[in-house]
A and B are shown apart, each in its own frame.
Chain A
C-alpha cells in the first residue's frame, strides 16, 4: 500500500473515530435534554454501527459479494425478530387469551 493511501486511510479512521464519539455525546445530551426517544437512539446507534462496520472493520474495502453475503441476511433476521411486539402489547393490556 502506498504512503499516500495509507495516510489517507488513517485520516478517515481518525475522522470516523471522532464522529462515533460525537454521536455518543449527542445521544447522551439529546436524552438528557429532550428525553430518551427510542427511534432517535436507534437511528444514531445505526449510524455509529455503519461507520464502525464500513471503516473500522474495513467492510467497505471488501468485495461486494462478501457484503451481500453478510449484511442482507443478518438484517433480515434482525428485522424478523420484530414479530414479537404484538405479543408484548397483548401482555401489556393483560389479555392472556386470544379472542
Chain B
C-alpha cells in the first residue's frame, strides 16, 4: 500500500484503521443490523417451514388412504402445548420490557421462565411422539394407512421441536449473559423475536397437522 493510500486510510472515517467513534453507517430501516439479521433469518425459516408444510400437503393430497390418527386426547394435548407456547411468548415480552427498563434481574427471571416453558413444551411433545411410536408409527410405515404419514408428521414436528430446543438454549445463554452485563437489552429483544417466530410456526402446525388428521 502506498504512502498516499495509507494517508487516505487514516483520514477516511469508514476505514478499519480509523477510530472514528460515532462515525458509523446508519442502521438499515432504523433498526440495529443484528435485529435485521434476525428478521432475515425469520423470513428464510418461514419459507423453510412453508416448504415442509406444502410438501406434507402434497403427500397427503396424493395419498388415497391418508390416516386420521389423532384421538381427542392428542388434540387437547396439542391445545395445552399451544397454551404453553403462547404464554411463553408473553413471558418473553415481559423479559424484553424488563431489559428495556434496565431491570437485569427481572429480565433474567422472565427469560428463564420462558426457557422453562419451552422445556415443558418439548417434554409434552416427546411424550406425544413416544405414544405414537408405541402404537407402531415409524418414518415409513404405520398401522393406519399411507406409509409417509410418519415421515411427514415426525419431520415437521421434529424440525419445530429442534427450533424450540435451540431457542431454549439461546434464551438461557442470552439471559445469563445479560444478567452478567455482557449483553445488552437488544440481545434479549432479538431472541424474543426468534421465540415469537417459533410460536408462530406452531400456530400453523396445529391446525394443518393435528386438526386435519383428527380421528372422526
Name the contact of B51 in the complex, choosing from A31, A65, A81 (C-beta under 8 A).
A81
Q: Is the CB of B93 within 8 A of A81?
A: no
Q: Is the CB of B93 within 8 A of A92?
A: no
Q: Is the CB of A38 within 8 A of B212?
A: yes
Tell whether B130 is near chain A: CB-to-CB under 8 Å.
no
Q: Is the CB of A17 within 8 A of B216?
A: no
Write the B43-75 contact mask toward A (1 if CB under 8 angstroms, else 0): 100110011001101110111100000001001
Closest Cβ–Cβ distance, residue B48 to chain A (whole Å): 10
Tell whether B179 is near chain A: CB-to-CB under 8 Å.
no
Given contacts A17-B86, A56-B93, A84-B54, contact A45 B207 (CB under 8 A): yes
Closest Cβ–Cβ distance, residue B54 to chain A (whole Å): 5
Name the contact of A28 in the complex, choosing from B47, B75, B97 (C-beta under 8 A).
B75
Tally chain A residues at the interface, Cβ within 8 Å. 46
Point out the residues of chain A lying under 8 angstroms from B30, CB to CB. Answer: 62-63, 66
Tell whether B196 is near chain A: CB-to-CB under 8 Å.
yes
User: Which one of B107-115, B132-140, B166-174, B198-206 is at the A interface?
Assistant: B198-206
Tell whether A2 is near chain B: CB-to-CB under 8 Å.
no
Closest Cβ–Cβ distance, residue B103 to chain A (whole Å): 13
Tally A-B pairs: CB < 8 A: 121
Given contacts A70-B39, A84-B58, contact A27 B50 (CB under 8 A): no
Chain A residues 13 to 43 lying within 8 A of chain B, measured CB to CB, are 13-14, 17, 20-21, 24-25, 27-28, 31-32, 35-36, 38, 41-42
- In the bound assembly, the distance between CA atoms of A36 and B206 in angstroms comes to 12
Closest Cβ–Cβ distance, residue B130 to chain A (whole Å): 23
User: Nearest chain-A residue to B63 (Cβ)?
Assistant: A92
Chain A residues 66 to 94 lying within 8 A of chain B, measured CB to CB, are 66, 69-70, 73-74, 77-78, 81-82, 84-85, 87-89, 91-92
Point out the residues of chain B lying under 8 angstroms from A89, CB to CB. Answer: 61-62
Point out the residues of chain A lying under 8 angstroms from B31, CB to CB. Answer: 62-63, 66
- In the bound assembly, the distance between CA atoms of A20 and B89 in angstroms comes to 11
User: Nearest chain-A residue to B36 (Cβ)?
Assistant: A66
Chain B residues 161 to 185 lying within 8 A of chain A, measured CB to CB, are none
Point out the residues of chain B lying under 8 angstroms from A70, CB to CB. Answer: 39, 43
Q: Could you list 29 A-B pairs, sorted by A, with CB under 8 Å?
A: A13-B90, A14-B90, A20-B86, A20-B203, A24-B206, A28-B211, A31-B207, A32-B214, A35-B216, A36-B212, A38-B212, A41-B212, A44-B207, A49-B204, A52-B199, A53-B196, A56-B89, A56-B196, A66-B36, A73-B43, A78-B47, A81-B54, A84-B58, A85-B57, A87-B58, A88-B59, A92-B62, A92-B63, A92-B64
